[in-house]
Amino acid sequence: MTDTTSNKMWGGRFAAGPDAIMEAINASISFDQRMAAQDIAGSRAHAAMLAAQDIISDSDADAIRKGLLTVLSEIEGGTFAYSTALEDIHMNVEARLKEVIGEPAGRLHTGRSRNDQVATDFKLWTRDQFDAAESGLLALIKALLGQAEAGADWVMPGFTHLQTAQPVTWGHHMMAYVEMFGRDLSRMRDARARMNESPLGAAALAGTSFPIDRDMTAQALGFDRPAANSLDAVSDRDFALEFLSAASICAMHLSRFAEELVIWSSAQFRFVTLSDRFSTGSSIMPQKKNPDAAELIRAKIGRIMGANVALMMVMKGLPLAYSKDMQEDKEQVFDAADNLMLALAAMEGMVKDMSANRESLAAAAGSGFSTATDLADWLVRVLGLPFRDAHHITGSLVALAEQNGCDLPDLTLEQMQSAHGDITADVFDVLGVENSVNSRMSYGGTAPAQVRTQVARWKGIIG
């Protein structure tokens, strides 16, 4: 039912209330109630500052502080009655404060606007998400380090084009993801440091004539400093976009890893066994154990990147300063943050629980002519051949092995010598996968010793 009276928070110049459809498109309370705690924290900091600056009396500030605590406990206790007519969390809280403490409530909005208020609340909320992402990433990195340490010298095939390329170690493969999630961690920390400036006190757009102390409110809310331009402060959503963009890259990494887990857990690969705790069954095929968590993680990039694009499109044509378009920021960030945290936690759980099948990995590591590069390198190192010639000779031996239906180490010395007469039996040493990975000692290479060095380095970094 449409309320025919004008809005009690801003309706002074209005003779009639909004149409029901207007109310429906205008209200954000159905979702911005998630920022209730941040809204109340911002109001408490603002009221304390107004009193310190003698803009309101100490007794009014005290009444406001106590009243806000009452409102907060109602919200936390689930007894708060949200009103769509009051549009958003800011006006819902203030209207309830008026009911609880009366006249002093009307003084809270001195020297501020909903524009700096919403920017402040949303920044505080998003700041917590940077911190949550950091914790989630650290936990996932720890789980990966556990896998890498356990299997630093387990051999497996390394792929390019998803074709067997060269043998690598399980630990090395895990550490590749540590590097990726490590960059995600640094992106989150980087953006959090940049965003930590307080919009509060920018007021509607131009600042205020009241002698407010923006340093005081900034400090009370854990910001490093007040934002330096009031127009920018109320119309900036870069912090949300940086979160969504860092979240998108992270979700892309999660998706790539999830894809590998889906492939690796298949009957054709059997590289890993996922735990029952992170798998599901089929209602019709009794033998099935499905990697649903990995598949859902693989899919999360869709909505997270979607949120990133959606908010970028919302912001792209907006003139300074605040426009109501910006109300469309919150649901995107809420949904992306919820799903990123869930995906990180699910991936951490899967990684901690999964077991690599060392025998399957080793068997696959030796197939597909994976040590052909080692053979070519041997021809260069020992016989002094140019690499291009060595490549060609090795190629002919691969073709020969293929014809005989065997792998490179199964060829006889005579067969080897048919490609180049100077080849000696020593060549067979480099055709073993263990020797192959052990020889890759270049910095950042797949040799177990290099993997252990990187595990130790990362342990030092994350503490």
Task: Give catalytic residue positions.
Answer: 161, 282
How do strand 197-198 and strand 225-226 relate by DSSP bridges? parallel
According to the binding rule CB under 6 A, does residue 118 interact with ligand ARG? Answer: yes
Say how many residues touch ligand ARG, by CB under 6 A. Answer: 10
Number of helical (H) and strand (E) elements in the chain, helices listed first: 19, 6
Distance between CA atoms of 118 and 1, rounded to whole angstroms? 27
According to the binding rule CB under 6 A, does residue 88 interact with ligand ARG? Answer: yes
Considering only 38, 43, 92, 115, the residue that binds ligand ARG (CB under 6 A) is 115
Considering only 28, 38, 279, 371, the residue that binds ligand ARG (CB under 6 A) is 28
Residues in 307-326 at the binding interface with ligand ARG, rule: CB under 6 A: 322, 324, 326
Tell the smallest beta-carbon distance from residue 4 to ligand ARG (Å).
Answer: 21
Q: For residue 413, what are the CA distances in angstroms to 302, 416, 425? A: 54, 5, 6
Q: 261 has which bridge partners? A: none
According to the binding rule CB under 6 A, does residue 230 interact with ligand ARG? Answer: no
**Angle at 42 (CA atoms; ends 304, 58), nearest 5 degrees:** 175
Among the residue ranges 16-24, 110-118, 136-144, 428-436, the one whose residues contact ligand ARG (CB under 6 A): 110-118
CB nearer ligand ARG, residue 122 or residue 170: 122
The residues near 162 (Cβ < 8 Å, ≥ 6 apart) are none
Q: For residue 44, what are the CA distances in angstroms to 49, 62, 164, 203, 219? A: 9, 10, 61, 16, 13
3-state secondary structure of 160: strand
Q: For residue 329, what are the CA distances in angstroms to 16, 30, 102, 253? A: 29, 14, 33, 24
Q: What tokens appear for 285 in the block?
A: 């095929």
Q: Please name the residue that has the structure tokens 């919820």.
A: 338
CB nearer ligand ARG, residue 88 or residue 184: 88
Tell the smallest beta-carbon distance from residue 28 to ligand ARG (Å).
Answer: 4
- Per-residue binding letters, 325-344, with ligand ARG (x by CB under 6 A): -xx-----------------
According to the binding rule CB under 6 A, does residue 120 interact with ligand ARG? Answer: no
Tell the smallest beta-carbon distance from residue 121 to ligand ARG (Å).
Answer: 9
Tell the smallest beta-carbon distance from residue 170 to ligand ARG (Å).
Answer: 48
CB nearer ligand ARG, residue 7 or residue 53: 7
Tell the smallest beta-carbon distance from residue 16 to ligand ARG (Å).
Answer: 18
Site residues for ligand ARG per CB under 6 A: 28, 32, 88, 114-115, 118, 322, 324, 326-327
